[in-house]
């Protein structure tokens, strides 16, 4: 019987690449061989989406400088610091436990009823928003918002949820 730690590093890395980012990170505590394998690009390349280059090409400015050459560093950066893509109208990140894609759609990519009516809505910047523009409600009788997302952009075999994120401004209502 062969001990796991006695397996070649590339074999351990291949096994870890078939798990999850969380499992790969935890395995580093098993032994020196597992720590080396769990830090390898062979493992973390598998946790990055196959279309990452295409996604990154729609971001501005380029998100990764020369300091991010390791795949693990790219993965961790995308988990903690979402990329603005599509001219700042969406953000893209990775969910750190699974590596699944996470998108946030900015207000400019939403279809908002009365959204282009100055007496109902104002478009402005907001210092805590990741998006360059936010929609500020002035007055409407009802709120109706629609959004579309191309499903080919999403991670396969994944349940997604939609959240409506907003902020009440004190004293407006």
Strand 101-105, strand 111-112: pairing:
unpaired
28-45 pLDDT, tens digit per residue, is 898 888 899 999 999 999
Global confidence as pTM: 0.84
Which of 36, 35, 46, 104 has the alpha carbon at shortest distance from 74? 46
DSSP label at residue 163 = -
65-85 pLDDT, tens digit per residue, is 666 689 999 999 999 999 999
Six-digit token pair at 112? 């908002």
CA 75, distance to chain mean position in Å, is 10
Which of 90, 89, 91 has the alpha carbon at shortest distance from 81? 91
Six-digit token pair at 15? 């096994």
């Amino acid at each position: 019987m062969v001990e796991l730690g006695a397996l070649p590093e590339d074999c351990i890395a291949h096994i870890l690449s078939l798990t999850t980012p969380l499992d790969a990170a935890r395995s580093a505590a098993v032994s020196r061989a597992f720590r080396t394998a769990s830090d390898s690009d062979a493992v973390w390349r598998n946790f990055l989406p196959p279309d990452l280059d295409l996604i990154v090409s729609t971001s501005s400015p380029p998100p990764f400088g020369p300091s991010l050459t390791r795949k693990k560093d790219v993965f961790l950066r995308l988990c903690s610091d979402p990329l603005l893509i599509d001219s700042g109208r969406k953000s893209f990140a990775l969910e750190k436990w699974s590596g699944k894609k996470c998108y946030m759609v900015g207000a400019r990519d939403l279809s908002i009823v009365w959204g282009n009516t100055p007496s109902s809505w104002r478009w402005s910047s907001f210092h805590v928003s990741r998006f360059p523009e936010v929609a500020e409600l002035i007055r409407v009788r009802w709120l109706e918002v629609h959004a579309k997302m191309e499903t080919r952009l999403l991670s396969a075999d994944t349940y997604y949820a939609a959240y409506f994120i907003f902020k009440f401004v004190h004293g407006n209502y």
